[in-house]
Chains A and B, each alone.
Chain A
Amino acid sequence: MQITFEEVSHVYGVGTPFERLALQDVSINIPSGSFVGIIGQTGSGKSTLIQHVNGLLQPTKGTIRLGDVTVTPTRKLPHESRRNIGLVFQYPEHQLFEETVAKDVAFGPLNFDMPPEMAELRVREALEIVGLDYQEMKDRSPFLLSGGQMRRVAIAGVLAMQPKVLILDEPTAGLDPAGRKAILEAIYRIHREQSLTTLLVTHSMEEAARYADRLIVMAGGKVMLEGKPDEVFAQADTLRELALDVPETVSLISQLNRKLPEEQRLPSSVYREEELISHLLARISDRGER
């Protein structure tokens, strides 16, 4: 589903002393099927931005187009459209409430009037996507799981609605490296298998570089940079001004390029870790043969 923002602004607490401009004239275009990384410091407006995508917040000004639905300051997103747009909040495990894992994951599908047998099937699929065994987990209380498992159950609760757009607000915050990787890999897999449009909010450049095919860099409620990852990483100075770093791979490439003669420079498009490794290995073995 294509997502377009036209000059969208959002003000919290209009007419109170706590009034706060959280988004300012944001215009973005997210093509259907892309995996977008949204990066920015805390308070830069990332969460505010994504809550507009499924109508939890309405713009104070501007227009949002979600496929063929339009949201404006006066026109709300219809309830049925929510089903197509799955939003996983930050610390989603805090929203668990049911007695059993299976019931909790089924909450979304049942809310959208799915027949119970169908919902059960969805629950099974969703739990398997996030790497949990259905038979083993279904009757357990979600509150007795480990932090990482709770997070997965909560993500499964959104996946079970089979959205076309998947939005994740810092899904790896507070997890150990192995847990982070497992969750992101699962998300990436389902993104490709079901050709979802995925928005991943993160403040880790590494995560963004690894999975995203487009990046949006935010600061102070505005979009500062937008484009393909290598285009964004090329603006290292701007990123540094925003107190964001380029990924290690990108800085390694630029350090190597400083040493290398012009014709042997590494292309900036190999910023993904595996690609860079295989690129370098190929070079080294080339040289060995010569």
Chain B
Amino acid sequence: MLQNIAIGQYVPGTSFLHRADPRSKMLFIILFAILVFLANNVITYAILIAFTVMTVMLSRLSLAYILKSLRPVWILVLFTVILHVLITKGGEVYFQWGWFSIEEKGVTQAIFISLRVSLLVLVSSLLTLTTSPIDLTEGLERLLGPFGRIGVPVHEIALMMSIALRFIPTLMEETDKIIKAQTARGANFTSGNLIRRAQNLIPIVIPLFISAFRRAEELALAMEARGYRGGVGRTRLRTLTMSWRDGSIALAACVLLLVIGWWRT
């Protein structure tokens, strides 16, 4: 029932992107975000689109699946497009009907904004699609490492993130199971007015909270039982290492930066 909601859920694999170091992927996304906002004409956007398509191919995931898994985002994009087309005015008037008009600026804005959001979301979803939660948090912890010296609890932040990521699929499964169990007892979640529908959620929300608390307690106990006491002096089973892949990502980043810098107006 809930199978299609997981945005950017990790899909195990062995592609170039799967094997690249999470740190280089994260740094690259930051750079890419900057580039997306630097791009301001047809050529630079075309370059970014071409590059994004290439990255998707490097992940060996089907574009159709990625696009489908990002469905909630597309609804948002569609909404902004409509808003811009209707509200932003200026330039040539394409269509006029009383006070209502569609004008050049509105259309170009809509196109650029939706392109920006789409490219950003696509590329960043590739990070979570191709990086396991463990690698993701370890990469984050290492990247944030320097901030630890000024008192930022980096290890704890990373741990919180990894626990959250780890339990998203579990809680979704749990939700699915509870919905089914209550449906089997005749619960109906799709009828009635708004208040009625909110009330209908109680049989799902309460068991879900209880199970989340129970899991949290069990996890805390299990961690303590195994002697966990924070990040200081902790060694790792697997350490991240950079490879030629990360070199090529860095190279691609430099090239992209130069090209966009050159062509933008």
Determine whether A138 belongs to the interface, using a CB cutoff of 8 Å to chain B: no
Measured CB to CB, the closest approach of chain B to A110, in angstroms, equals 8
How many inter-chain contacts with C-beta < 8 Å in the A-B complex?
70
> Are the CB atoms of B65 and A143 closer together than 8 Å?
no
Chain A 205-233 per-residue mask, 1 if CB under 8 angstroms from chain B, else 0: 00000000000000000000000000000
Chain A 48-77 per-residue mask, 1 if CB under 8 angstroms from chain B, else 0: 000100101000000000000000000000
Measured CB to CB, the closest approach of chain A to B203, in angstroms, equals 5
Interface size class of A (residues with CB under 8 A): 20 to 34
Measured CB to CB, the closest approach of chain A to B81, in angstroms, equals 26
> Are the CB atoms of A94 and B207 closer together than 8 Å?
yes
Measured CB to CB, the closest approach of chain B to A170, in angstroms, equals 13
> Are the CB atoms of A95 and B182 closer together than 8 Å?
yes
Number of interface residues of B (CB under 8 A): 26
Determine whether B11 belongs to the interface, using a CB cutoff of 8 Å to chain A: yes
- Which chain A residues border B11 with CB–CB below 8 Å? 17-18
Q: Which of B184, B203, B206, B211 contacts A89 (CB 8 A)?
A: B184
Task: Closest A residue to B69 by CB, please name it.
Answer: A16
Task: Closest A residue to B204 by CB, please name it.
Answer: A97
Scoring A89, A92, A97 by chain B CB atoms within 10 A of each residue's CB, the highest score goes to: A97
Determine whether B197 belongs to the interface, using a CB cutoff of 8 Å to chain A: no
> Are the CB atoms of A111 and B186 closer together than 8 Å?
yes
Please, could you name 8 A-B residue pairs with CB atoms under 8 Å apart, sorted by A?
A: A18-B3, A94-B181, A95-B178, A95-B182, A107-B182, A107-B185, A107-B186, A111-B186
Interface residues of B (CB under 8 A from A): 3-4, 11, 61-62, 65, 68-69, 174, 177-178, 180-188, 202-203, 206-207, 210-211
A-B residue pairs, 8 tightest by C-beta: A111-B186, A108-B185, A97-B206, A95-B181, A87-B184, A17-B11, A89-B181, A56-B180
